[in-house]
Amino acid sequence: MYCETDDELVELVERARKYTEDGKVADYIPALGRAEKCDLSIALYYTDGRCFKAGDVDKLFTLQSVSKVLALALAIMDNGEEEVFRKVGMEPTGDPFNSIAKLESQVPAKPLNPMINAGALVVSNMIEGRSTHDKLGRFLTLIHDLTNNTSIDVDHEVSDSEFETAHLNRALCYYMKQHGLITGDVEDLIDLYTRQCAIKVSCLDLARIGMVLANKGRDPETNRMIIPEGIATLVKTFMVTCGMYNASGEFAIRVGIPAKSGVSGGIIGLVPPSMGIGVYGPALNEKGNSIAGVKLLEMLSQRYELSIF
């Protein structure tokens, strides 16, 4: 049983919206602090082309950590699985996304997974390209293909704001450079990473990306394989085990779908084989996930029995 009208979604959004009051908009990246706390929206995109939306669906927001899923897919397409997982692990952590703690206790030093900042920085460092511009261009092309929306671009205000304040991410990079996990100039990598995180999308864009992943990496409208099936499976599995940071276990139990969140309040989700979900709600809970967005997905999953388990 799937949702088949906007009205059904409107009702869920209005029920979930009250939870935004208990959350807090991220402001450690100063430009994100300007988001409207009470915003909440959702879009669904099915493989047959039907879309349903509710809430503040015209609001655009930046990918932030949602970009980690797609950067991982691109880095594996560029380098192969073996090379990528030589430098980054496959295990969830019980730590916050920006934690530095586990890096020193792992021998040899290696970030636990590609969905935390340390792992994502290693992954971005593996994207092929002659320059930052080139690498970012290749990443944007992947997003244009997945969304079928070539107008998607970087929000430079957000990327500049993060670049100026990303000292913890710089610390992670220098530590990992010392251990041979990162090569090249750290400032260049922070430049790429902050721009990758600042790509601006709508929840419909996220839903379409989720739909292509649900469809094993193939765009059903063009029949083009955008992400090879094995790589799509791999990134979806990371979404289940690590996509909601150190709340991934509870999310798997309460919602039960592959999903990835970002501190802008975006969440991408998917239900194989035919449905992609995009959510936006910038008020976050203490783990850094959209507080009302998670509630909304919980209600949606219960109403339509979406859990994959």
Binding site for ligand GLN (CB under 6 A): 64-65, 97-98, 117, 162, 169, 197, 262-263, 288
Q: Which of 161, 193, 200, 260 is catalytic?
A: 193
- 3-class secondary-structure state, position 220: coil
Judge whether 193 counts as a catalytic residue: yes
Judge whether 68 counts as a catalytic residue: yes
Angle of helix 132-147 relative to helix 203-214, nearest 10 degrees, comes to 80
Lookup: tokens for 277? 């979900």
Q: Which of 13, 53, 65, 201 is catalytic?
A: 65
**Closest CB 164 distance from ligand GLN, rounded Å:** 13
Q: How far, in Å, CA of 92 to CA of 65, rounded?
A: 15
Lookup: tokens for 150? 């070539």
**Closest CB 258 distance from ligand GLN, rounded Å:** 17
**Closest CB 268 distance from ligand GLN, rounded Å:** 12
Q: Which is nearer to ligand GLN, 159 or 301 (CB)?
A: 159
**Closest CB 84 distance from ligand GLN, rounded Å:** 19
Q: Which is nearer to ligand GLN, 98 or 113 (CB)?
A: 98
Q: How far, in Å, CA of 59 to CA of 51, rounded?
A: 17
Residue at shortest CB range from ligand GLN: 65
Q: Which is nearer to ligand GLN, 217 or 258 (CB)?
A: 258
Lookup: tokens for 141? 């092309």
**Closest CB 216 distance from ligand GLN, rounded Å:** 26
Judge whether 245 counts as a catalytic residue: yes
Closest CA to 270 of 281, 261, 280, 259: 259
Closest CA to 227 of 138, 146, 128, 135: 146
| Rg of the chain in Å (alpha carbons) | 18
Judge whether 304 counts as a catalytic residue: no
Q: Which is nearer to ligand GLN, 57 or 197 (CB)?
A: 197
Q: Which is nearer to ligand GLN, 9 or 115 (CB)?
A: 115
Amino acid type, 210: G
Q: Which of 255, 263, 279, 294 is catalytic?
A: 263
Closest CA to 288 of 104, 27, 38, 45: 27
Active site residues: 65, 68, 193, 245, 263
